[in-house]
Amino acid sequence: MFNYILRRILYAFPLLLGVNILTFVLFFIVNSPDDMARMQLGQKHVTEQAIDNWKLQRGYQLPLFINQQETGLNKIKQTIFYQKSLRLFVFDFGISDSGRHIGADIQQRMWPSLAIALPSLLVGLLVNISVALMMVLFRQSYLEFGAIVLCIIIMSISSLFYIIGGQFIMGKLLMLVPISGYDTGVNAFKFLILPVLISVISGVGAGARWYRTLFLEEIEQDYVRTARAKGLTETQVLFKHVLKNAMIPILTGVVVVLPLLFMGSLITESFFSIPGLGSYTIDAINSQDFAIVRAMVFLGSVLYIIGLLLTDISYTLVDPRVRLS
Amino acid sequence: MIVWQKIIFFIFFSVLLSACNESVLNNPYPKGIEGKQSVLYSSFSERPKHLDPAKAYSSNEYAFIGQIYEPPFQYHFLKRPYELEPLTAKHMPEVHYFDALGQPVAETSTSDEVAYSDYIIEIRSGIKFQPHPALAINKQGQYLYHQLGTEELADIQLLADFKQTGTRELTAADYVQQIKRLVHPEISSPIAELMKQYIVGLGDYAQIIKDKPRTALRDNPIKGVEVLDKYRYKIRIKGKYPQFIFWLAMPFFAPMPWEADAFYSQKGLIDKNITLDWQPLGTGPYMLEENNPNLRMIMLKNPNFHIEFYPSEGEPEDKESGLLEDAGKRLPFIDKAIYLLEKETIPYWNKFLQGYYDGSGIASDSFDQAVQFTGDGEAALTESMQAQGIQLQTAVNSSTFYMGFNMLDSIIGGSSEQARKLRQAIAIAVDYEEYISIFNNGRGVSAQGVIPPGIFGYSAGERGVNHYVYDWHNGQIQRKPLAAAIKLMQEAGYANGIDPITGESLVLYLDTAASGPDDRARLNWYRKQFAKLGIQLVIRATDYNRFQQKMRNGNAQIFMWGWNADYPDPENFFFLLYGPNAKAVHGGENAGNYQNPEFDRLFKQMSYMSNGPERLAVIRQMQELIRYDAPWVFGLHPKSFSLYHSWYHNLKPNLMANNSLKYRRIEAQKRKQLRRQWNQPVLWPVVLIILLLIALILPAMRSFQRRAKETIK
């Protein structure tokens, strides 16, 4: 297993380099260093001299990929790409174009994102599995039919509707929770109720139907028939056998998103004024802050790779037949 | 009791307990945040990029630093037209004029006779900086935190983690330090290049300190800016530039102690995002207590704030509207100002209605809910707003939005009769009254020229009408009929909008960066306006960078642009049409590249004149020239609508002042009562939903149990 993990880590390097090059090219196709300077300096009284000065201070006066004026290795080293990318691989994200230390910003903003995403995932998982099991338990009854219709209705509605509707009903009409906001520590609890509730409700349609399909697939298996023949009750069959055997696809879906929970959700964080990482990248794109865009894309890629690796490892834990080689 | 029952009981009990503890459940603020303090609750939608007064130049940045930093002068809170008065200065500056030989010349001398102007500013004694670790010293007078070691830095995450703070008296040297900072390369001040044109020696100073750290500013003198004594300093300006006094009322010219640069230049602090751009150090009425612009920013009353009183003079109607009730009282009234990040307008609006924000703007989504227009076109609050005691304040902004023509363009530009008549025809056809009504909910006034209301040179009524586009009928302004535009088109050689060269409809191009789905209706509207004349308008939508590039290169044909006043002087608007400011030629702010020697001559003349009948006459001549030449379709001056709760006082729109917070007053007790009254939780629907769920699940459970017990017979 160690060799396997090492190999996967080594594979990650060219992958991350590729992502980095792609981000770099895409960003600089749309924005030039001059545009970035103008964005940071504002719209009024901006002169060429001020732009040149801004670029010089932040290292954007260099060529993008190849510096023809240099010789040897410096042709590569004295470029924006090299200067801005190399330190990423040691997780030194540097200073944003507006002068903030990106690493410190990420550390500060990832916790609120996690505070929403983790309970949303766990509660959502619990609710989705429970509803799916209920549907399977009451299959071919009015309850299952009603639940499927409800799930489809829930799936068909935009998540934005749940957010605005939830804020209107729970925050404005019933006045049970704050409409938006956030606080640290225990005070965060009252701000998390509504976003977590909305996240769970908006996700229950797709989630419950997916898990129901998994459970129905399992319930037709021979071992289930055997369990029933042994005289186990339907609940025992479902909870002790079907649920356990359906764990692999459930795990695949869950473990892969675990690291990405840090990255937050743009819409939820924006509407609930949660100071997470969700809006960090979008704000950076809007303000043409390449340093943040590059750092966040890199971080996202690293976390995704970690997620996939964890998924592979988790297979071996839930299914003894799987071996990593 | 089994475990899960215990857990449910615990959760239920906790929720019940928390419900009992709080008078309302939806309060977004922590309990006890106010105490006995007077607190203002407000919001911001975008984090301020810069809080360094040398860098900040946006209104959302000025909302904070305007309360923290104090330039020598400020705008009078109540008097109109806008009037400057001393803030930290003892009196208005002494200005001396000199010719090229260094001999004094009279104030009335023309700009050609004046080679230099000296501004001598004297500040008041006894003004102190806010408590700050950068100013903390030990008994030996050494600074405690100017050379932080690794061990000391280990415990520091925020500025508040420093145990000691200090202060010292404000001196003239602090103002000089800030002027030097404007040209330091690390700071990249947006006005650095502009000020190099005016302040003697600033350009050379930029060269001197370009490779030196910020800490070297103190020891390197600057030729044109001089400390005369502890409380006096002198700024030497090239030539005569009367508008310079307005710059002295902006945070760019606020004082900065050298200790701030010494303290914040330490790498260990920069790595922790503790920088001057994030943690200001000023003498103003407030200091930034918490700066987490991803969540909230909190300002506290500066305990060292100098003595300043609420004004006792204003406009005649100010007394009636209660704006002079606090006359002579010591400022500021509010102890703490909390600004929360609200990116979306819907939650922000709802929280305002619940009383959790003291004031609010009006987004287009909620406009109809808040405002209705009376029969005579006056804006008034709706009944529901009135029932809550909400106050409405409107003010025409000192800004202008226009449709510009590129005067370098071969069809629409130039000074030929044909092009001018074409532009005049378009100016009549593009109906900005309709635009304001459709897209701005009536929030704006159509522009008659370049100057917005409230700025010297603006004329209301018949005197101010643009007679090339409007007529004056029965005491009212009226857009000329379309027939007048069609006639102009015929005279220009484009009868029915047909281009004689191609024999087809004249095709014109509108370059814009507005390409989102929300902009589609707006752009279609423009197409229709041009179609009235038979002109086919092609929209060339692009991203903002490319649009800017086209403008710089002079490749756009028609464009839309706007300008917000830096200061209340007509020069700050007319310079947008001054020839030497042409964007494509000189990289200036004259985006349409308009050139008219007569206009340029009058502009120079007007710039150096004091406000009075003579200046007004010159301004009218200039207005006439640009109305005739029509380099712009004068669009609109936006009108801002703001709502305030009944407990919020001393509200008078002041579009120039950035430091109005110190005048505001809150009735905290009234707010507390109304908040409680407006936010009583409604619990019965929750109980109903729980009962409904039980009613749904119980029969199913019973049916399942029955089925599980069934046996084959």
For residue B690, what are its two tokens? 């729980």
- Segment B256-278 mean pLDDT: 93
* A294, pLDDT greater than 70: yes
Question: Whats the size of chain A, residue-wise?
Answer: 325
B78 and B10 assigned to the same domain = no
In whole angstroms, give the CA distance from residue A12 to residue A8. Answer: 6
Residue of chain B nearest A35, judged by CA positions: B545
Which alpha helices (DSSP H) does B242-375 contain, by range?
A: 244-247, 258-264, 267-270, 316-320, 345-353, 367-370
Domain end among B240, B271, B302: B271
Of A35, A177, A183, the CB nearest to B30: A183
Q: What is the pLDDT of residue B23?
A: 63
Q: Is the dihedral of CA B669, B675, B676, B678 positive or negative?
A: positive
Q: What is the pLDDT of residue B78?
A: 95
Is B343 within 8 Å of A271 when comparing Cβ atoms?
A: yes
Q: What is the pLDDT of residue B15?
A: 52
Q: How confident is the model at residue A288 (pLDDT cuts 50, 70, 90)?
A: confident
Residues of chain B with pLDDT > 90: what percent? 77
- Segment A84-111 mean pLDDT: 84
* B449, pLDDT greater than 90: yes
Exposed, middle or buried, B319 (CB in 10 Å: 0-12/13-18/19+)? Answer: middle
Nearest to B71 by CA among B274, B308, B249, B329: B249
Query: Could you tell me if residue B124 is inside a domain?
Result: yes
Strands B371-373 and B379-381: antiparallel
Domain that holds residue B221: 53-271
- Per-residue three-class SS string for B206-252: HHHCCCCCHHHCCCCCECCEEEEECCEEEEEEECCCCCHHHHCCCHH
In whole angstroms, give the CA distance from residue B522 to residue B526. Answer: 7
Contact B694, B361 (CB under 8 A): no
Q: How confident is the model at residue A30 (pLDDT cuts 50, 70, 90)?
A: confident
In whole angstroms, give the CA distance from residue B108 to residue A257. Answer: 74
In whole angstroms, give the CA distance from residue A277 to residue A108. Answer: 9
The alpha-carbon radius of gyration of chain A (Å, integer) is 25
Q: How confident is the model at residue A325 (pLDDT cuts 50, 70, 90)?
A: low
Q: What is the pLDDT of residue B582?
A: 94
* Average pLDDT of chain A, as a whole number: 87
In whole angstroms, give the CA distance from residue B231 to residue B120. Answer: 10
Tokens 């300190």 appear where?
Answer: B209
- Segment B403-429 mean pLDDT: 96
Nearest to A62 by CA among A47, A49, A75, A48: A75
Query: Could you tell me if residue B233 is inside a domain?
Result: yes
B687 and B538 assigned to the same domain = no
In whole angstroms, give the CA distance from residue B104 to residue B117. Answer: 9
B545 and B458 assigned to the same domain = yes
In whole angstroms, give the CA distance from residue A6 to residue B248. Answer: 63
B213 and B111 assigned to the same domain = yes
Residue of chain B nearest A97, judged by CA positions: B49
Q: What is the CATH number of the domain that holds B470?
A: 3.10.105.10
- Segment A124-128 mean pLDDT: 94
Q: How confident is the model at residue B114 (pLDDT cuts 50, 70, 90)?
A: very high
Among the residue ranges A20-24, B15-19, B365-369, the one predicted with the least confidence is B15-19
Give the DSSP H/E element, type plus range, for residue A243.
helix A243-245
Number of structural domains (chain B) is 3
* B359, pLDDT greater than 70: yes
Q: With an 8 Å Cβ cutoff, is A240 touching chain B?
A: no
**3-class DSSP state for residue B296?**
strand
Contact B592, B577 (CB under 8 A): yes
- Segment B358-367 mean pLDDT: 90
B633 CA: distance to closest CA in chain A (Å): 22
Q: What is the pLDDT of residue B500?
A: 92
In whole angstroms, give the CA distance from residue B2 to residue B5. Answer: 6
Tokens 């895409």 appear where?
Answer: A26
**3-class DSSP state for residue B306?**
coil
Is A176 within 8 Å of B191 when comparing Cβ atoms?
A: no
Task: Say which residues have a Cβ less than 8 Å from residue A139's Cβ, sequence separation at least 6.
Answer: A216
Is B26 within 8 Å of A177 when comparing Cβ atoms?
A: yes
Q: How confident is the model at residue B20 (pLDDT cuts 50, 70, 90)?
A: very low
* A222, pLDDT greater than 70: yes
B561 and B485 assigned to the same domain = yes
DSSP state of A181: -
For residue B282, what are its two tokens? 């000023």
Exposed, middle or buried, B163 (CB in 10 Å: 0-12/13-18/19+)? Answer: exposed
- Per-residue three-class SS string for B3-63: HHHHHHHHHHHHHHHHHHHCCCCCCCCCCCCCCCCCEEEEEECCCCCCCCCCCCCCHHHHH
In whole angstroms, give the CA distance from residue A61 to residue B548. Answer: 20
Of B49, B350, B685, the CB nearest to A172: B350
- Segment B370-385 mean pLDDT: 86
Of B188, B354, B704, the CB nearest to A57: B188
B565 and B707 assigned to the same domain = no
Of A53, A174, A190, the CB nearest to B681: A174
Domain end among B609, B640, B671: B640
B146 and B243 assigned to the same domain = yes
Q: With an 8 Å Cβ cutoff, is A83 touching chain B?
A: no
Query: Could you tell me if residue B406 is inside a domain?
Result: yes
Nearest to B159 by CA among B1, B11, B287: B287
B18 and B59 assigned to the same domain = no
DSSP state of B413: -
Tokens 């600033």 appear where?
Answer: B202
A residues 133-162 near B, CB within 8 Å?
137-138, 141, 143
Is B190 within 8 Å of A42 when comparing Cβ atoms?
A: yes
Query: Could you tell me if residue B341 is inside a domain?
Result: no
Q: How confident is the model at residue B8 (pLDDT cuts 50, 70, 90)?
A: low
Contact B412, B423 (CB under 8 A): yes
B331 CA: distance to closest CA in chain A (Å): 31
ipTM: 0.82
Of B50, B270, B292, the CB nearest to A275: B292
Q: What is the CATH number of the domain that holds B190?
A: 3.90.76.10
Q: What is the pLDDT of residue B61?
A: 93
Quick one: CA torsion of A257, A261, A262, A266, rounded to 10 degrees? Answer: 120
Query: Could you tell me if residue B296 is inside a domain?
Result: no
Strands B558-564 and B507-512: parallel
Q: With an 8 Å Cβ cutoff, is A178 touching chain B?
A: yes
Contact B390, B646 (CB under 8 A): yes
Q: What is the pLDDT of residue B11?
A: 54
Nearest to B701 by CA among A213, A234, A10, A198: A234
B610 and B695 assigned to the same domain = no
pLDDT tens digits for A310-323? 888 888 877 777 77
Q: With an 8 Å Cβ cutoff, is A18 touching chain B?
A: no
Q: Structure pTM?
A: 0.87
Domain end among B271, B294, B314: B271
Q: What is the pLDDT of residue A244?
A: 85
A313-320: Cβ within 8 A, 24+ apart? A313/A1, A313/A5, A314/A251, A314/A255, A315/A248, A315/A251, A315/A252, A316/A1, A318/A247, A318/A248, A318/A251, A319/A248
Query: Could you tell me if residue B261 is inside a domain?
Result: yes
Nearest to B456 by CA among B77, B75, B82, B76: B82
Q: What is the pLDDT of residue B713?
A: 61
Choose from A70-84, B21-35, B181-195, B409-423 the range with maximum mean pLDDT.
B409-423
Residue of chain B nearest A113, judged by CA positions: B294
- Segment B132-147 mean pLDDT: 95
Q: Which has the higher per-residue pLDDT, A206 or B700?
A: A206
Give the DSSP H/E element, type plus range, for residue B559.
strand B558-564
In whole angstroms, give the CA distance from residue B449 to residue B402. Answer: 10
For residue A126, what are its two tokens? 């619990």
Task: Examine residue B580 and say whether the peptide bond preceding it is cis (omega within 30 degrees of 0).
Answer: no
- Segment B346-357 mean pLDDT: 94
B697 and B630 assigned to the same domain = no
- Segment A33-45 mean pLDDT: 80
Nearest to B87 by CA among B350, B318, B285, B338: B285
Contact B583, B589 (CB under 8 A): yes
Choose from A74-78, B155-159, B240-244, B307-311 the range with maximum mean pLDDT.
B307-311
* A324, pLDDT greater than 80: no
Of B193, B341, B683, the CB nearest to A275: B341
* Average pLDDT of chain B, as a whole number: 91
Contacts of B683 in chain A (CB under 8 A): 174, 176
Among the residue ranges A38-52, A143-157, A262-276, B313-327, the one predicted with the least confidence is A38-52
In whole angstroms, give the CA distance from residue B429 to residue B450. Answer: 19
Q: With an 8 Å Cβ cutoff, is A290 touching chain B?
A: no
Is A40 within 8 Å of B188 when comparing Cβ atoms?
A: yes
From the candidates B25, B338, B709, which should be mutated to test the interface with A, based on the most A CB atoms within 10 A? B25
In whole angstroms, give the CA distance from residue B20 to residue B3. Answer: 26
Residue of chain A nearest B195, judged by CA positions: A45
Query: Could you tell me if residue B119 is inside a domain?
Result: yes
Q: What is the pLDDT of residue B21?
A: 47
* B9, pLDDT greater than 60: no
Contacts of A40 in chain B (CB under 8 A): 49, 188
Q: What is the pLDDT of residue B1?
A: 45
- Segment A272-279 mean pLDDT: 87
Q: What is the pLDDT of residue B670?
A: 95
Q: How confident is the model at residue B633 (pLDDT cuts 50, 70, 90)?
A: very high
Contacts of A109 in chain B (CB under 8 A): 294
In whole angstroms, give the CA distance from residue A222 to residue A228. Answer: 10
Among the residue ranges A258-267, B254-263, B411-420, B437-446, the one predicted with the least confidence is A258-267
Query: Could you tell me if residue B304 is inside a domain?
Result: no
* A189, pLDDT greater than 80: yes
B547 and B693 assigned to the same domain = no
* A127, pLDDT greater than 90: yes
Q: What is the pLDDT of residue B161?
A: 93
Q: What is the pLDDT of residue B307?
A: 95
- Segment B118-137 mean pLDDT: 97
B191 and B103 assigned to the same domain = yes
B683 CA: distance to closest CA in chain A (Å): 7
Crossing angle between the packed helical segments A189-219 and A142-156, to the nearest 10 degrees: 130
Tokens 């042409």 appear where?
Answer: B582
